[in-house]
């Protein structure tokens, strides 16, 4: 008796070589009261290589503390510069969305700090994802309401606007235990610091100022103040016509 024909599956997984990436999402500033607030994203096709290099750096320098821009001192500055060197030499693509609440306030536009942060994150991810790419997002555990959770809303909205599966998952984790989120904090804060300096809110002879200048130098960028777009660095200003573009 002939064997029964296997049913045709109604769905099919993408091929093994389908483009995927991991995006690490963090912020700089407190959107509730700081004039400048930014959301940054570091996208890596294969995070293993960068993370292994940073772990080797930690072991070499015996530095196991959190990499945090807010805590930067001149004593730690040489080591922070080494982290910037490692990231700049990697294949990581960094994107950042900076909001100046004095000129264009996303909180006023969207009605709450949580919704403003959510919308900035969505736009940043949409500008980060390549066509057909599927992204996994690991985000800082930023405080947002339990109703309509940030993770679910951001994933659904990005997929809706891109009309397909672009974000597979959004997971929030504590940045204190996640080195890649610490790296995003470092870059996002360094970018934002130049805006604070230009507004008279940041010094020019501090360790933070020196590191911010060093980041610009390592990425061959004169200034972030009008936005910039290169293969590895994409900075856009909220409220301006220029948005984080497709890579």
Domains of the chain by residue range: 20-237
13: pLDDT strictly greater than 60: yes
Is pLDDT larger for residue 166 or for residue 32?
A: 166
- Percent helix, strand and coil across the chain, each to the nearest 5: 40, 20, 40
Question: If pLDDT is split at 50, 70 and 90, which confidence band does 7 have?
Answer: low
2: pLDDT strictly greater than 80: no
SS3 98: strand
Chosen CATH of 20-237 out of 3.40.50.12660, 3.30.420.10, 3.30.300.20, 3.40.50.720: 3.30.420.10
Cα Rg of the chain (Å, integer): 19
- pLDDT, tens digit, for every residue of 163-200? 999 999 999 998 888 999 999 999 999 999 999 999 99
């Amino acid at each position: 008796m002939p064997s029964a024909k296997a049913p045709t599956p109604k769905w099919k997984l993408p091929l093994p070589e389908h483009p995927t990436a991991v995006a690490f999402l963090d912020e700089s500033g407190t959107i509730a009261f700081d004039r400048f607030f930014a959301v940054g994203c570091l996208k890596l096709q294969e995070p293993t290589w960068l993370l292994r290099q940073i772990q080797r750096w930690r072991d070499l320098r015996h530095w196991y503390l959190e990499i945090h821009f807010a805590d930067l001192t001149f004593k730690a500055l040489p080591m922070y510069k080494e982290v910037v060197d490692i990231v700049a030499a990697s294949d990581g693509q960094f994107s950042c969305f900076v909001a100046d609440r004095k000129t264009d306030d996303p909180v006023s536009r969207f009605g709450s700090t949580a919704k403003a942060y959510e919308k900035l994150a969505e736009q940043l991810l949409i500008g980060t994802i390549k066509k057909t790419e599927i992204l996994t997002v690991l985000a800082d555990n930023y405080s947002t309401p339990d109703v309509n959770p940030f993770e679910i809303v951001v994933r659904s909205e990005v997929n809706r606007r891109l009309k397909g599966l672009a974000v597979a998952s959004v997971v929030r984790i504590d940045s204190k235990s996640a080195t890649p989120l610490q790296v995003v904090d470092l870059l996002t804060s360094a970018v934002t610091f130049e805006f604070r300096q230009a507004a008279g809110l940041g010094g020019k002879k501090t360790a933070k100022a020196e590191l911010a200048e060093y980041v610009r130098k390592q990425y061959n960028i004169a200034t972030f103040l009008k936005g910039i777009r290169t293969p590895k660095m994409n900075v856009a200003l909220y409220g301006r016509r220029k948005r984080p573009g497709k890579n």
